[in-house]
């Protein structure tokens, strides 16, 4: 049985540039063995028989509307399917995104503009992109080849070559150091990054968290505000036109100190009391304060600090706080105590043999730690903050000073007289 001649049913696209070069898909039947494809009187620049029903042909130059025919050993197609030659306007580019990428290439960029449907080439400078995709008449995506510096991207279609849009090849940033390299978990402190290739930086990240504020001071220096983070170490990276830096500098998020104990919890207004602070996260402490007043201190361990209470102007409780690079913590108090005041003794005399119960009146007696007759400690009982009783110890006849001592200090002395019993 004889093979019937070919038939042409559709061509797509149905129009193209008078300059030729448009890739046209011809569909129909009996295309096997095709020896020619013509656009009017002109043979296609080239063609490929994809199947018995499909041919891809490159339109030759031409004008007007012409019939597309296919020739096989069985004859020439006779269906009147046309292709229109038009004066195609050259492509126009308006933007590229992203507008930069690493020198090694590989970045997929999106080109927007008009007249991009029949794009035949995309160039980065003089280098042809080996991969591009026509998305629509207004958009083309392309994979940037390797390059350096700033280049013009152009698109070529049968209508000509577009204007250029700028694409910048950059070197990958390098982060070599960060100062300071530690801070609180709530962030907010400013650090300085040093390194190279920082120009055009678009992001600074602490681990997976991007800093919301940074300034490129120079190609080798960035000032960044640290974002909040979790306690521990993170790597700092910088992203620029050349890509994202490899991990190169470590930043430590520090937990704020926690204060759990203050011992002793009180002392005199004159200060000087050695106080032990206990808790956690004490390493690298920079300040210990009693209220608003800084104290001298020694860091013994991450859980223990020895501080010397500073003087205070008035009696009362103050908050003890501890500051480290991780922040300030502390909600315990230290109480400044006024020295006790001794105003009266009753009786003010007694036998040298001792044993007399003496009532002391005054103020600040509640925390009495000792009562002395001269240098001799006496047994005592605190009755109230304004009264206590003491048992006079034996001693030589004559006057002796009685004092009362509390954590707030020692009172001025009042005189107690020892007398001998009368001689019979």
For 395, the token pair is 């001693």
In 3D, which of 332, 331, 345 has the Cα closest to residue 380? 345
Distance CA 273, CA 383 (A): 27
Q: Any idea what DSSP says for residue 163?
A: P
**CA 417/CA 424 separation, integer angstroms:** 21
pLDDT at 314 over 80: yes
Residue 137: enclosing H or E segment and its boundaries?
none
How confident is residue 1, by pLDDT bands cut at 50, 70 and 90?
Answer: low
Residue 78 phi/psi, 5-degree rounding, is -115, -5
* Residue 73 neighbours by CB under 8 Å, 6+ apart: 3, 33, 35
Mean pLDDT across the stretch 72-83? 95
* Listed residue (18, 302, 357) closest to 159, CA to CA: 18
Whole-angstrom Cα distance, residue 11 to residue 292?
Answer: 87
Does the pTM of the predicted model rise above 0.75?
A: no
214, pLDDT greater than 70: yes
Q: How many CA atoms lie within 13 A of 386 on its CB side?
A: 1
pLDDT greater than 70 at residue 286: yes
Region 291-315: mean pLDDT is: 96
Kindly indicate the confidence band of residue 424, based on its pLDDT and cuts at 50, 70 and 90. low
Output the six-digit token pair for 3: 């093979």
pLDDT 10s digits, 317-349 = 999 999 998 999 988 999 999 999 999 999 999
Pairing assessment for the beta strands 249-254 and 182-184 based on DSSP bridges = parallel
More confident residue, 32 or 22: 32
> What torsion do the CA atoms of 277, 278, 279, 284 make, to the nearest 10 degrees?
60
CA distance 223 to 229: 18
pLDDT tens for 360-398 read 999 999 999 999 999 999 999 999 999 999 999 999 999
**Each residue of 135-175: pLDDT tens digit?**
998 999 999 999 988 899 999 987 788 999 999 888 889 99
Mean pLDDT of 118-138: 93
Q: In what order do the strands lie in the sheet with 274-280?
A: 258-263, 274-280, 304-308, 293-301, 287-290, 316-324, 327-337, 266-268
Residues of the chain with pLDDT > 90, as a percent, come to 83
Average pLDDT over residues 108-113: 95
Kindly tell me if the per-residue pLDDT of 423 is higher than 80: no
Query: Looking at residue 19, what is its pLDDT?
Result: 76
Q: What is the CA radius of gyration of the chain?
A: 47
Q: CA-to-CA distance for 52 and 41, rounded, in angstroms?
A: 23
């Amino acid at each position: 049985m004889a093979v019937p001649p070919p038939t042409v049913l559709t061509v797509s696209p149905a129009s193209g540039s008078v300059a030729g070069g448009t890739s046209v898909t011809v569909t129909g039947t009996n295309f096997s063995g095709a020896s020619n494809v013509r656009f009017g009187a002109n043979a296609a620049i080239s063609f490929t028989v994809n199947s018995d029903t499909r041919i891809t042909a490159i339109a030759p130059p031409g004008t007007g509307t012409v019939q597309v025919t296919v020739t096989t050993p069985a004859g020439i197609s006779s269906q009147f399917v046309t292709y229109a030659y038009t004066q195609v306007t050259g492509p126009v580019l308006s933007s590229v995104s992203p507008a930069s990428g690493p020198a090694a290439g590989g970045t997929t960029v999106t080109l927007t503009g008009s007249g991009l449907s029949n794009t035949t080439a995309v160039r980065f400078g003089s280098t042809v992109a080996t991969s591009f995709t026509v998305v629509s008449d207004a958009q083309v995506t392309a994979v940037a080849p390797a390059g350096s510096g700033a280049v013009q991207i152009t698109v070529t279609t049968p209508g000509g070559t577009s204007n250029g849009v700028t694409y910048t090849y950059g070197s990958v940033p390098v982060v070599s150091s960060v100062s300071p390299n530690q801070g609180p978990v709530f962030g907010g402190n400013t650090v300085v990054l040093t390194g190279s290739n920082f120009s055009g930086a678009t992001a600074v990240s602490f681990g997976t968290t991007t800093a919301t504020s940074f300034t490129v001071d120079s190609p080798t220096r960035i000032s960044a505000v640290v974002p909040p983070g979790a306690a521990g170490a993170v790597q700092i990276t910088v992203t620029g036109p050349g890509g994202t830096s490899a991990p190169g500098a470590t930043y430590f998020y520090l937990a704020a100190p926690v204060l759990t104990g203050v011992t002793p919890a009180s002392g005199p207004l004159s200060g000087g009391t050695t106080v032990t602070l206990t808790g956690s996260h004490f390493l690298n402490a920079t300040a210990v304060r009693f209220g608003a007043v800084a104290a001298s201190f020694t860091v013994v361990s991450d859980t223990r600090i020895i501080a010397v209470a500073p003087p205070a102007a008035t009696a009362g409780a103050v908050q003890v706080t501890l500051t480290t690079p991780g922040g300030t913590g502390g909600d315990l108090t230290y109480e400044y105590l006024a020295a006790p005041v001794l105003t009266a003794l009753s009786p003010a005399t007694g036998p040298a043999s001792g044993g007399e119960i003496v009532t002391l009146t005054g103020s600040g007696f509640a925390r009495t730690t000792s009562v002395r007759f001269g240098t001799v400690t006496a047994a005592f009982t605190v009755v109230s903050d304004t009264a206590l009783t003491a048992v006079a110890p034996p001693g030589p006849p004559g006057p002796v000073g009685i004092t009362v001592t509390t954590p707030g200090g020692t009172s001025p002395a009042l005189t107690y007289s020892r007398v001998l019993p009368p001689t019979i």
